[in-house]
Protein backbone atom coordinates (compact mmCIF):
# COMPACT_ATOMS: atom_id res chain seq x y z
CA UNK A 1 0.00 0.00 0.00
CA UNK A 2 1.37 3.39 -1.02
CA UNK A 3 1.80 5.93 1.78
CA UNK A 4 1.57 9.64 0.94
CA UNK A 5 3.55 12.14 3.01
CA UNK A 6 3.98 15.90 2.65
CA UNK A 7 7.26 17.63 3.32
CA UNK A 8 7.52 21.13 4.80
CA UNK A 9 6.98 22.75 1.40
CA UNK A 10 3.74 20.76 1.08
CA UNK A 11 5.27 18.66 -1.68
CA UNK A 12 3.74 15.19 -1.83
CA UNK A 13 5.93 12.10 -1.54
CA UNK A 14 4.61 8.68 -2.57
CA UNK A 15 6.19 5.86 -0.55
CA UNK A 16 5.55 2.21 -1.37
CA UNK A 17 7.90 1.02 1.40
CA UNK A 18 9.90 2.60 4.23
CA UNK A 19 13.01 4.24 2.70
CA UNK A 20 16.14 2.25 3.55
CA UNK A 21 18.91 4.04 1.63
CA UNK A 22 19.18 7.69 2.64
CA UNK A 23 21.22 10.56 1.22
CA UNK A 24 21.31 13.63 3.47
CA UNK A 25 22.37 17.00 2.09
CA UNK A 26 21.93 18.88 5.39
CA UNK A 27 24.38 18.48 8.30
CA UNK A 28 21.87 19.06 11.11
CA UNK A 29 19.46 16.58 9.52
CA UNK A 30 22.24 14.02 9.21
CA UNK A 31 22.82 14.30 12.95
CA UNK A 32 19.09 13.85 13.54
CA UNK A 33 19.05 10.67 11.45
CA UNK A 34 21.81 9.19 13.58
CA UNK A 35 19.98 10.11 16.79
CA UNK A 36 16.87 8.41 15.40
CA UNK A 37 18.89 5.20 15.05
CA UNK A 38 19.24 5.41 11.28
CA UNK A 39 23.03 5.60 10.85
CA UNK A 40 23.16 2.23 9.09
CA UNK A 41 20.65 3.50 6.51
CA UNK A 42 22.67 6.59 5.53
CA UNK A 43 24.56 6.01 2.29
CA UNK A 44 25.58 9.57 1.36
CA UNK A 45 26.34 12.83 3.18
CA UNK A 46 27.91 16.25 2.52
CA UNK A 47 31.45 17.23 3.46
CA UNK A 48 29.89 19.46 6.14
CA UNK A 49 28.15 16.56 7.92
CA UNK A 50 30.59 16.56 10.83
CA UNK A 51 28.42 15.02 13.57
CA UNK A 52 29.04 12.34 14.54
CA UNK A 53 32.70 12.84 13.67
CA UNK A 54 33.28 9.35 12.28
CA UNK A 55 30.46 9.54 9.75
CA UNK A 56 32.45 10.99 6.85
CA UNK A 57 34.88 8.06 7.08
CA UNK A 58 32.12 5.49 6.62
CA UNK A 59 29.69 7.19 4.19
CA UNK A 60 30.04 8.45 0.62
CA UNK A 61 30.69 12.21 0.34
CA UNK A 62 28.44 13.66 -2.36
CA UNK A 63 29.63 17.29 -2.29
CA UNK A 64 28.58 20.25 -0.19
CA UNK A 65 25.22 21.82 0.50
CA UNK A 66 25.29 24.17 -2.49
CA UNK A 67 27.23 22.05 -4.97
CA UNK A 68 26.62 18.31 -5.28
CA UNK A 69 27.86 15.45 -7.44
CA UNK A 70 24.53 14.33 -8.83
CA UNK A 71 26.00 11.30 -10.63
CA UNK A 72 27.54 10.10 -7.38
CA UNK A 73 24.18 10.45 -5.64
CA UNK A 74 22.49 8.51 -8.41
CA UNK A 75 25.09 5.74 -8.18
CA UNK A 76 24.23 5.25 -4.50
CA UNK A 77 20.72 4.18 -5.53
CA UNK A 78 18.99 6.08 -2.72
CA UNK A 79 15.36 5.56 -1.73
CA UNK A 80 15.11 9.13 -0.45
CA UNK A 81 17.16 12.34 -0.46
CA UNK A 82 16.82 14.85 2.36
CA UNK A 83 17.18 18.57 1.61
CA UNK A 84 16.44 21.96 3.18
CA UNK A 85 15.06 25.05 1.47
CA UNK A 86 17.76 27.34 2.87
CA UNK A 87 20.73 24.99 2.78
CA UNK A 88 20.17 23.62 -0.72
CA UNK A 89 19.26 25.37 -3.95
CA UNK A 90 16.07 24.90 -5.93
CA UNK A 91 18.17 23.40 -8.74
CA UNK A 92 19.61 20.79 -6.36
CA UNK A 93 16.15 19.80 -5.14
CA UNK A 94 14.85 19.51 -8.70
CA UNK A 95 17.83 17.40 -9.78
CA UNK A 96 17.47 15.11 -6.77
CA UNK A 97 13.74 14.71 -7.37
CA UNK A 98 14.60 13.16 -10.76
CA UNK A 99 16.38 10.33 -8.91
CA UNK A 100 13.94 9.46 -6.13
CA UNK A 101 11.61 10.91 -3.50
CA UNK A 102 13.16 14.11 -2.14
CA UNK A 103 12.02 15.59 1.17
CA UNK A 104 12.57 19.32 1.78
CA UNK A 105 12.49 20.89 5.22
CA UNK A 106 11.80 24.57 5.92
CA UNK A 107 12.69 25.74 9.42
CA UNK A 108 12.00 29.07 11.11
CA UNK A 109 10.83 28.11 14.61
CA UNK A 110 11.09 25.39 17.25
CA UNK A 111 7.65 24.18 16.17
CA UNK A 112 8.96 23.75 12.62
CA UNK A 113 11.82 21.69 14.01
CA UNK A 114 9.48 19.48 16.01
CA UNK A 115 7.31 19.00 12.95
CA UNK A 116 10.34 17.87 10.95
CA UNK A 117 11.32 15.35 13.62
CA UNK A 118 7.79 13.94 13.57
CA UNK A 119 7.88 13.78 9.77
CA UNK A 120 11.13 11.78 9.89
CA UNK A 121 9.55 9.52 12.51
CA UNK A 122 6.73 8.81 10.07
CA UNK A 123 8.99 8.53 7.03
CA UNK A 124 11.38 6.04 8.54
CA UNK A 125 9.08 4.19 10.92
CA UNK A 126 10.82 5.74 13.93
CA UNK A 127 7.86 7.38 15.62
CA UNK A 128 8.79 6.32 19.14
CA UNK A 129 12.38 7.57 18.81
CA UNK A 130 11.14 10.81 17.25
CA UNK A 131 8.70 11.39 20.09
CA UNK A 132 11.47 10.96 22.68
CA UNK A 133 13.56 13.64 20.98
CA UNK A 134 10.54 15.94 20.67
CA UNK A 135 9.72 15.50 24.36
CA UNK A 136 13.32 16.25 25.31
CA UNK A 137 13.38 19.44 23.24
CA UNK A 138 10.03 20.60 24.63
CA UNK A 139 11.27 20.14 28.19
CA UNK A 140 14.52 21.98 27.48
CA UNK A 141 12.60 24.80 25.78
CA UNK A 142 10.14 25.19 28.65
CA UNK A 143 12.93 25.17 31.24
CA UNK A 144 14.84 27.80 29.31
CA UNK A 145 11.79 30.03 28.92
CA UNK A 146 11.41 29.98 32.71
CA UNK A 147 15.12 30.75 33.13
CA UNK A 148 15.14 33.65 30.64
CA UNK A 149 11.73 35.08 31.55
CA UNK A 150 12.94 37.90 33.82
CA UNK A 151 16.31 38.44 32.17
CA UNK A 152 16.79 41.86 30.55
CA UNK A 153 16.75 42.18 26.78
CA UNK A 154 20.16 42.94 25.32
CA UNK A 155 20.88 44.40 21.89
CA UNK A 156 22.86 42.05 19.67
CA UNK A 157 24.58 41.80 16.30
CA UNK A 158 25.12 38.24 15.02
CA UNK A 159 27.84 37.89 12.36
CA UNK A 160 27.97 34.89 10.03
CA UNK A 161 30.60 36.00 7.46
CA UNK A 162 33.64 38.19 6.88
CA UNK A 163 34.70 39.85 3.60
CA UNK A 164 31.99 40.81 3.01
CA UNK A 165 30.66 41.25 6.53
CA UNK A 166 27.28 39.55 6.80
CA UNK A 167 24.83 39.23 9.66
CA UNK A 168 21.75 37.19 10.47
CA UNK A 169 18.65 39.38 10.22
CA UNK A 170 14.89 38.82 10.14
CA UNK A 171 13.16 35.70 8.76
CA UNK A 172 15.87 33.30 9.92
CA UNK A 173 15.98 30.51 12.48
CA UNK A 174 18.94 32.30 14.06
CA UNK A 175 16.88 35.44 14.63
CA UNK A 176 14.11 33.35 16.17
CA UNK A 177 16.56 31.84 18.66
CA UNK A 178 18.04 35.26 19.42
CA UNK A 179 14.56 36.48 20.35
CA UNK A 180 14.08 33.42 22.54
CA UNK A 181 17.33 34.41 24.29
CA UNK A 182 16.03 37.95 24.94
CA UNK A 183 18.61 39.23 22.47
CA UNK A 184 17.16 41.97 20.28
CA UNK A 185 18.72 41.89 16.84
CA UNK A 186 19.79 45.39 15.80
CA UNK A 187 19.53 44.26 12.17
CA UNK A 188 16.02 42.80 12.48
CA UNK A 189 14.63 45.44 10.10
CA UNK A 190 16.67 43.81 7.34
CA UNK A 191 15.94 40.46 5.72
CA UNK A 192 17.73 37.13 5.88
CA UNK A 193 21.55 37.56 5.67
CA UNK A 194 22.40 41.08 4.52
CA UNK A 195 25.86 42.44 3.85
CA UNK A 196 26.76 45.35 6.11
CA UNK A 197 29.58 47.85 6.41
CA UNK A 198 31.48 48.16 9.67
CA UNK A 199 31.12 51.81 10.61
CA UNK A 200 31.24 53.66 13.91
CA UNK A 201 27.56 54.53 13.86
CA UNK A 202 25.19 55.51 16.65
CA UNK A 203 23.51 52.10 16.51
CA UNK A 204 26.87 50.39 17.04
CA UNK A 205 27.32 52.19 20.35
CA UNK A 206 23.97 50.79 21.52
CA UNK A 207 24.95 47.17 20.88
CA UNK A 208 25.42 45.18 24.09
CA UNK A 209 26.62 41.93 22.55
CA UNK A 210 28.33 40.95 19.30
CA UNK A 211 28.17 37.26 18.48
CA UNK A 212 30.72 35.98 15.98
CA UNK A 213 29.45 32.63 14.78
CA UNK A 214 31.78 29.69 14.26
CA UNK A 215 29.89 28.86 11.06
CA UNK A 216 29.52 29.22 8.16
CA UNK A 217 32.57 31.52 8.50
CA UNK A 218 34.95 30.09 11.13
CA UNK A 219 35.21 33.13 13.38
CA UNK A 220 37.71 32.71 16.21
CA UNK A 221 39.32 34.83 18.92
CA UNK A 222 41.69 36.46 16.42
CA UNK A 223 38.71 38.32 14.91
CA UNK A 224 37.40 39.79 18.16
CA UNK A 225 39.72 42.79 18.33
CA UNK A 226 38.88 43.88 14.78
CA UNK A 227 35.14 43.84 15.46
CA UNK A 228 35.44 45.33 18.95
CA UNK A 229 36.74 48.61 17.49
CA UNK A 230 33.36 49.18 15.83
CA UNK A 231 31.23 48.15 18.80
CA UNK A 232 32.99 49.93 21.68
CA UNK A 233 30.40 49.17 24.38
CA UNK A 234 29.70 45.57 23.43
CA UNK A 235 30.91 42.23 24.71
CA UNK A 236 32.31 40.38 21.68
CA UNK A 237 31.75 36.64 21.98
CA UNK A 238 32.61 33.67 19.78
CA UNK A 239 29.25 31.90 19.43
CA UNK A 240 28.79 28.22 18.68
CA UNK A 241 27.07 28.48 15.32
CA UNK A 242 25.70 24.95 15.53
CA UNK A 243 23.71 25.88 18.64
CA UNK A 244 22.13 28.87 16.89
CA UNK A 245 21.48 27.37 13.46
CA UNK A 246 21.25 23.57 13.72
CA UNK A 247 17.78 22.22 14.30
CA UNK A 248 16.67 18.67 14.90
CA UNK A 249 18.30 16.78 17.76
CA UNK A 250 20.95 19.48 18.27
CA UNK A 251 18.23 21.40 20.09
CA UNK A 252 18.46 18.89 22.95
CA UNK A 253 21.84 20.48 23.73
CA UNK A 254 21.29 24.09 22.67
CA UNK A 255 19.42 25.43 25.68
CA UNK A 256 22.09 24.42 28.21
CA UNK A 257 24.51 26.35 25.99
CA UNK A 258 22.17 29.36 25.92
CA UNK A 259 21.95 29.37 29.73
CA UNK A 260 25.75 29.43 30.04
CA UNK A 261 25.96 32.16 27.42
CA UNK A 262 23.53 34.34 29.37
CA UNK A 263 25.37 33.77 32.65
CA UNK A 264 28.65 34.79 31.01
CA UNK A 265 27.02 37.91 29.59
CA UNK A 266 25.63 38.80 33.01
CA UNK A 267 29.12 38.51 34.48
CA UNK A 268 30.37 40.94 31.85
CA UNK A 269 27.51 43.36 32.46
CA UNK A 270 28.35 43.35 36.16
CA UNK A 271 31.90 44.57 35.57
pLDDT per residue as tens digits for the range 35-62:
999 999 999 999 999 999 999 899 999 9
What domains can you pick out in the chain, each with its CATH number?
3-140 (3.40.50.1980), 151-270 (3.40.50.1980)
SS (H, E, C) 138-193: HHHHHHHHHHHCCCCCEEEEEEEECCCCEECCECCHHHHHHHHCCEEECCCCCECC
Residue 1: band (very low, low, confident or very high) from pLDDT cuts 50, 70, 90: low
pLDDT of 199 reads 84
Cβ neighbours of residue 6 closer than 8 Å, sequence gap 6 or more: 12, 13
For residue 98, name the pLDDT band (cuts at 50, 70, 90): very high
Percent of the chain with pLDDT over 90: 90
pLDDT of residue 231: 92
- Residue 197 is predicted with a pLDDT of 87
Of the pLDDT bands very low, low, confident and very high (cuts 50, 70, 90), residue 2 is: confident
Asked if residue 271 has pLDDT above 60, the reply is no
Number of residues that this document lists for the chain: 271
Reported in sequence order, the residue ranges of 16-117 that DSSP labels E, i.e. its strands, are: 22-24, 42-45, 60-61, 80-84, 101-105
What percent of the chain shows pLDDT beyond 70?
Answer: 98
Neighbours of 138 (CB within 10 A): 13
Q: Per-residue pLDDT averaged across 20-33, rounded?
A: 97
Computed over every residue of the chain, the mean pLDDT equals 95
Contact (Cβ atoms closer than 8 angstroms) between residue 122 and residue 5? yes
pLDDT above 80 (res 270): no
Is the Cβ–Cβ distance between 8 and 116 less than 8 Å?
A: yes
Of 240, 262, 40, which is closest to residue 146 (Cα–Cα)? 262
CA–CA gap between residue 24 and residue 59 (Å, rounded)? 11
How far is Cα 28 from Cα 241, in angstroms, rounded to an integer? 12
Q: Binning pLDDT at 50, 70 and 90, where does residue 252 land? A: very high
Question: Is-contact 209 158, C-beta < 8 A?
Answer: no
Query: Quick one: pLDDT at residue 269?
Result: 63
pLDDT tens for residues 196-235?
Answer: 988 877 778 889 999 999 999 999 999 999 999 999 889 9
* pLDDT, tens digit (0-9, with 9 covering 90-100), for 123-170: 999 999 999 999 999 999 999 999 999 999 999 999 999 999 999 999
Peptide bond into 162 cis (omega under 30): no
Amino acid sequence: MTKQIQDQLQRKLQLKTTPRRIVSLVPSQTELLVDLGLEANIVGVTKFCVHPVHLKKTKAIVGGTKQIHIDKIRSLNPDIILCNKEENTKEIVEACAQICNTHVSDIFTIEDSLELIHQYGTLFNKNEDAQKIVNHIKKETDDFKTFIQKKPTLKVAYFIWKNPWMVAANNTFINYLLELNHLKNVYETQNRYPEIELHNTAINKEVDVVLLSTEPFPFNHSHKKEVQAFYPNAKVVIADGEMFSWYGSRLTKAFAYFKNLRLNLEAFQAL
